[in-house]
Chains A and B, each alone.
Chain A
Amino acid sequence: MSKYVRQRLMQSIPVFFGITLLTFGIMQLAPGGPLANMISPRISAESLQRAKEALGLNRPLLVQYFAWLKQLLVGNFGYSITSGEPVLGMIFERLPATLLLTGTAFLISFVIGIPLGVYSATHKYTLGDYGLTIFSFIGISVPSFFFGMGLIYFFALRLGWLPTSGFGSTTFSGSDWAAFVQRIRYMIMPVMVLSLGNLSTVMRFTRSSMVETLNQDYIRTAKAKGLSKQVVIYRHALKNSLIPVITIFGLSIPNLFGGSYITEKVFSWPGMGLLGVNAISNRDYPVLMGLTVFTALLVLLGNLLADILYSIVDPRIRY
């Protein structure tokens, strides 16, 4: 066990360097480099050169990389070109909103997806199963922005039930019931858009895994013992068929931090996604670079934790 954890940690070290190196490399491709926003007809070549020297941009790339990495490790992610704020602060400011959205969507996709998958598997080849199968296909195929626009058109513009976009008031406190309800009203549509794809995947995984489990000998034995259908399905079959579903849990981690770009853009949700989309249209490279590294490192950490948890949940796994 501890050997596996140690091995897994060792593997993460080159991946960490790879992530930072790749981010650094991509940003080198940016036209004009970090000084792009300074270049204008009014600035002379000499002062540009001076600025380059002052910022250490004339040093070899590898030296620049390590200097950047050192700053990164002490939490200095650079400053935004557009607002001048420190990038890490901007990210932390928006992280809660994103996690609220993606976390809720994540939870909902499992809470709804698993029972639907079980229903589908236990009612194989019935009308309900076909309906759910087609639903799940649509769920993985619909572009999130189109679904989002459709929801806005229907629920906000036609029916007027929900606000079109935004986050609601910023003065949110747990005790304030009205603020809570308001926040929920703003969350309904983005959460629907975000959870649809994952919900469909969870449902399909649960269904196929459950169908396979229900064909096992021990299920036949349980049935032959005269156990009730409910006990067989929920006590015997479901538990065993959930192991592959845990895999999706791990696979969904990148989406938790980086999967809500489009949804946040469609609904103007003030999270990391919107920050990124705006940074892209402003060509705000320090923010982009910070977001990339931050997200990738979170995913690295998340995967590490998921793998370790997985090896605890399923003791059969040996690497």
Chain B
Amino acid sequence: MQNKVYLARRRNIFKTDEWKRFSKNKLALVGLVIIMLMVMTAVLAPVIAQNDPFISLRASTGNKIIKNTSPEKSGTILGTDYLGRDVFSRTVYAARISLSVGLVAVSISTIVGILLGSLAGYFGGLLDSVIMRIVDIVYCFPVMFLVMIIAAILKPSIWNIMIIIGLVNWTGTARFVRGEILRVRELDYVQAAISMGASHSRIILSHVIPNIIAPIIVEATLQMARAILTEAALSYLGVGVQVPIPSWGNMLNESNNLAALTLYAWQWVPPGLCILIVVLSINFIGDGLRDAFDARQKK
């Protein structure tokens, strides 16, 4: 009884070994801080952005020469774009798109991956072969390519982008979960649960998954970095998030001409750097989590 009470008490996350190992990784901590700042930026976008991201400054200030204007001349932080909109405001609002696309897409791919992976690994047999062949099929299509084509055929909306990226990226998780389930289901405690008559879903959900959740989280983190890159690339190619909604990718698309490239660096460098910094931070966090969960490295 005493033991149970102890186990049931919520553990302070900052006192776990995992956190101690994670916090020793300087890069991961830096990444975590940057991502927290980015999330705050996205949430507080209306407060942070000085100007409306959708409307030309010409409309709001009445200033005639406002297109492609440098920060100094326009009196904004990052200047204006080819329609006279505030680049800083657009960059801030675009954080909402990138982060939410990443989050939703990864949630989809992780759930699908866990579901199909555990079905394949737990039940085996024909179901396993069918699911694994589906994995092989999806794997044969270069991800970017498949996403591009589906995005080109379906109406490009933010939701479609999230769903497509999610439905193309689950194969890695499914393979991993299947392998782990094959390993774990032979362990004594799972055999004990089976012999006690626990249902399949109970065994998978409350006995098997909690034991392999750590690497799934690591994989999901790294996938989120890739999902954000994919969204940016799609929007850059014009089949992702559609203008006028700002996304870092389509901001780069709009300034992908020789004039903007040469003369208006403030239009494409900030969104590009934002993608780089966010993806880099998430990759740092993912790497930190991997080391933190990896018991082999315990010292």
Contacts and interface: CB of A to CB of B under 8 A. Distances in A.
B133 A138 contact: no
Contact of B142 (A15, A255, A281): A255
Interface string A230-259: 000000000000000000000000110111
B198 interface: no
A295 interface: yes
B237 interface: yes
Nearest to A157: B262
Contacts of A143: 229, 232-233, 236, 249, 252, 272, 275-276, 279
B265 A138 contact: no
A4 interface: no
Interface string B241-273: 000000001001000101001100100100010
A283 interface: yes
Interface stretch (B48-56, B102-110, B149-157): B149-157
Residue among A27, A138, A150, A255 having the largest count of chain B Cβ atoms under 10 Å? A150
Contacts of B141: 19, 22, 254, 258, 292, 295-296, 299
Nearest to B271: A146
B140 A300 contact: yes
Given A145-B236, A262-B236, A254 B149 contact: no
Nearest to B133: A14
B137 interface: yes
Given A11-B136, A143-B229, A259-B144, A153 B265 contact: yes
Contacts of A30: 153
B145 A261 contact: yes
A277 interface: yes
Given A19-B137, A276-B148, A144 B233 contact: yes
A266 B258 CA distance: 12
B125 to A, nearest CB: 15
Nearest to A22: B137
A261 B280 CA distance: 22
Given A146-B276, A254-B142, A261 B149 contact: no
Interface in B206-231: 225, 229
Interface in B111-157: 133-134, 136-137, 139-146, 148-150, 152-154
Given A141-B280, A262-B236, A288 B144 contact: no
B284 interface: yes
Interface in A28-63: 29-31
B142 A29 contact: no
Contact of B272 (A18, A150, A292, A303): A150
A189 interface: no
B238 A138 contact: no
A15 B275 contact: no
Contacts of A145: 232-233, 236, 252, 256
Contact of B283 (A26, A140, A150): A140
Interface string A290-319: 011001110110010000000000000000
B237 A29 contact: no
A291 B142 CA distance: 11
A178 interface: no
Given A19-B141, A153-B262, A259-B142, A292 B280 contact: no
B239 interface: yes
A188 interface: no
B237 A280 contact: yes
Contact of A26 (B144, B150, B268): B150
A295 B280 contact: no
A280 B153 CA distance: 9
B229 A15 contact: no
Contact of A146 (B139, B149, B275): B275
Given A153-B262, A261-B145, A283-B152, 5 more contacts: A15-B140, A143-B249, A145-B256, A277-B237, A280-B148
Interface of B: 27, 133-134, 136-137, 139-146, 148-150, 152-154, 225, 229, 232-233, 236-239, 249, 252, 256, 258, 261-262, 265, 268, 272, 275-276, 279-280, 283-284, 287
19 contacts: A15-B136, A19-B141, A137-B27, A138-B276, A140-B225, A141-B283, A142-B276, A145-B232, A146-B252, A153-B261, A164-B258, A254-B142, A254-B143, A261-B148, A265-B237, A280-B152, A283-B152, A295-B141, A299-B140
